[in-house]
Structure 1
Amino acid sequence: MKLAFMGSPDFAVPALEALVAAGHEMRAVYCQPPRPSGRGQALQACPAHRAADRLGIAVHHPAKLRGNAAELDSFRALDLDAAVVAAYGLILPRDWLEAPRRGCINIHASLLPRWRGAAPIHAAILAGDAETGITIMRMDAGLDTGPMLLREALPIGPKARLGEMHDALAALGGRLILRALAEDPPAVPQPDEGSTYAPRLTRADGRIDWTQTAQRIERQTRAFDPWPGAFTTLGTDVLKMLEAEISVGMGEPGTVLDDRLTIATGDGALRILRLQRAGRGPVIAGDFLRGFAVPVGTVLGTT
C-alpha cells in the first residue's frame, strides 16, 4: 500500500519500521521539527525523523497543518491509500483526514474509550488499571473518538513501570497496524460509556503530594519513570523517587518515620527503596543515607 507515516517519539518507531519491513510503500514521514536539546541547545531530530533518515524516507515537519494549503496540496499529491498516525503531536484537520483513500488510521496506546488524550500509558499505571492495550482506530475530527478497527489488551503487573509498558505497547502497535491494513476489519463505534481523559503531562505533574495515599504515590513512582519523574524536596535538594514499597506507619504526611526512609502519607506509609539527587546517579536508600543524614521527624516536600 502507498502510505504516509505521521509520528514523532520513540513510541512511533516500531510501527514505522514494521510497515517498511512488510513491504509497504512509505512515501513520506511527517513528524515534529528538530528542536534545541542538551546543554549546547543544538537542534535534534525526533526519533521518528532519525528512523526515517535511516530508512531513506522523505521527512516533512510542518509547524502547523490547519490553514497550511501548500502542505495539504503536497500531502494530497502523495496519492495515499492510507496515513498511519502514532503520537504525531499535531491535530489533523478534516481535510487532511479525508485525503487518503482509506483515511488516517491511528495507533493509540489504550483500550479506547479508556484514556483518550496525550498520556494514556502514564494514566493507566497511575490509576491502578489491571490492563491496558492498543486500539487501532480510523480517525475522525474528535479527540481519539474515531471508530475502532482492532484492539488487543496487555496486563499491567503489580510492579509494571512506564518504560517497560511503553516498549511492549509500541511493539504491539507495530504488529496490530499490519493486521489492520491487511485485513481491513469493519469499523466499530466506540462505546458511549467509560471514556476517560489523560492530559498532556508537565514536569510539575511529577511532584509528590504526600497527602495522597501510599498506594497512589507508589504507583506514581512507576508511572512517571523515566518522565516526568516522581520527585519531592528535602530542604533545597530535589529528590527523584525511583522505587518504593508500601509500608506501615502513621504520621503527618511527608514525615520521615524511621532510619530506613519510611515516609508517612495521607493514608499509610511508603518506604523509599531507590532514589536520585539532582545531578547525581541513582542509589539505593541505604547508600543514600550513609552519605546524607535524614533524621527521623524530617518533613519532605516543604519547599
Structure 2
Amino acid sequence: MRIIFMGTPEFAVPTLDALIAAGHDLAAVYCQPPRPAGRGKARRKSPVQHSAEAAGIEVRTPASLRDPGAQQEFAALGADVAVVAAYGLILPEPILAAPRHGCLNVHGSLLPRWRGAAPIQRAILAGDEWTGVCIMGMERGLDTGPVYAVRDTPIDRKSAGALTTELAAIGAALMAEVLDALPRLQPTPQPEQGVTYAAKIAKDEARLDFSQPATLVERQVRAFNPQPGAFFELGGERIKILSAEAIDDSSATPGTVLDDRLAIACGEGAIVPGLVQRAGRGAMSAAELLRGFAIPPGTSLA
C-alpha cells in the first residue's frame, strides 16, 4: 500500500517503524519543521524526521498545509492512505480528501472521551481507570471521525511518559492491523454521548496545589512527568516532583513539610515524593535532595 506518513514526536516513531517493517511503500514523511531547542537554541530535527531520514525516506517539513502549492504536492504523491500520529498541524479539506482511503489517525484515548491535544495527561488528571488507542478516520471536526479499531489498557499509577510509550506501541500494532484490513473494514461513528475535550496543557497547571486532596496532587505529578514537570518553589528555586505516593496523613496546614521524608500535607492526606529534580540537575531521590538542600519539617511550601 502506498502511504504518506505524518507525525512529529517520539509517540509517532513506532507507527512509522511498523509501516516500514510491513513493507509498505512510504511515498513521503511529513513532520513539523526543526525547532530551536536547548541552551544554544539550535534547530533540532524531530524524532520522526531522524527515523525517516535514517530509513532513506523523503521528508517534507512545511510550516503549514494551507498553501495550494503544498496541497498539490501532497496530492501528486498518489497515496492510498495517509497515516497520521501526533503530527501537530491542522489538515485542510484538500489534504484530508487527497488519499484514496483518506487519512487515518492514531489517537491516544478511548473516543469520544478526550478529543483534543492532551488526551493522555487529561485522562490521568481526571482519575480515569482506563485509556487506550483509537484508529480514527479524520474529518474536519476535532477528533470527531469514525473509529476503525480500538484497544484499551489500564492506567494504574503510570506516569504520562510511561503511558505515552505504551500507547505508542499499541497504536503502531493497531494501525498495522487496520491497514491489513482496508478497504474491507468499516468504521463505526462515534457516539454523541460521553464527549470530553483534552485541552492543551498550560504551564501554570504544573504548579502543585497542595490545597487539593493528595490523590489529585499525585495525579498532577504523574500527568506532568516528564513534561512540563509538576513543581513547587522554595527559596526562589523550582523543584520538580517526578513521582510521589499519596498517604492518609492530614495533620497540618496544606503545603507544610511533615517529616524528614519530605512528606507534604495536602487538603486531604499528604504526598511523599519519590523522585525529585532541582533546576539544571538530574533526577534524584527525596533523601538525596534533602542531603544537599535542607527543607526541615514545618517548612511551608504553599
Aligning the two structures, in what range does the TM-score lie when normalised by the shorter sequence? over 0.9
Q: Which runs of 5+ in 2 are unaligned?
A: none
Show the counterpart of 1:241. 241
What CA distance in whole angstroms lies between the structure 1 residues aligned with 2:270 and 2:41? 41
How far is 1:266 from its partner?
Answer: 1.6
For structure 1, the residue ranges without an aligned partner over 5 or more in a row are none
- Matches of 1:286 and 1:81, distance apart in 2: 56
Query: How far, CA to CA, are the matches of 1:178 and 1:289 in structure 2?
Result: 48
Alignment of 1:248-287 (within 5 A): 248-287=249-288
Q: Distance in 1 between matches of 2:39 and 2:227?
A: 18
TM-score when normalising by structure 1: 0.95
| Number of aligned residue pairs | 299
Q: Do 1:6 and 1:86's aligned partners in 2 also have CA atoms closer than 8 Å?
A: yes
Normalising by structure 2, what TM-score? Answer: 0.96
Q: How do 1:157-172 and structure 2 match up within 5 A?
A: 157=156, 159-172=157-170
1:82 maps to what in 2? 81
CA shift digits 1:246-295 (9 cap, x unpaired): 12123222111223212111222112222111122222222222222223
- Say whether the 8 Å CA contact 2:250–2:267 is kept in structure 1: no
Residue equivalent to 1:106: 105
Work out whether residues 250 and 268 of structure 2, in 8 Å CA contact, stay in contact via their aligned partners in 1.
no
Segments ≥4 residues shifted beyond 4 Å = none
| Residue 211 (structure 1) aligns with | 211
Contact 1:162-1:223 at 8 Å conserved across structures: yes
Contact 2:7–2:87, Cα closer than 8 Å, also in 1 = yes
Q: Distance in 2 between matches of 1:83 and 1:163?
A: 26
How far, CA to CA, are the matches of 1:286 and 1:86 in structure 2?
A: 40
**Higher deviation after alignment, 201-210 or 135-144:** 201-210
* Maintained 8 Å contact 1:160/1:222: yes
Aligned to 2:193: 193
C-alpha displacement of 1:45: 0.6
Aligned counterpart, 2:62: 62
**Residue type matched to 1:112 in 2?**
L
Task: Name the counterpart of 1:182.
Answer: 180
RMSD: 1.2
**Alpha-carbon distance, 1:200 to partner:** 1.5
Q: Whole-Å Cα distance in 1 between the matches of residues 165 and 292 of structure 2?
A: 35
Identity value in percent:
53
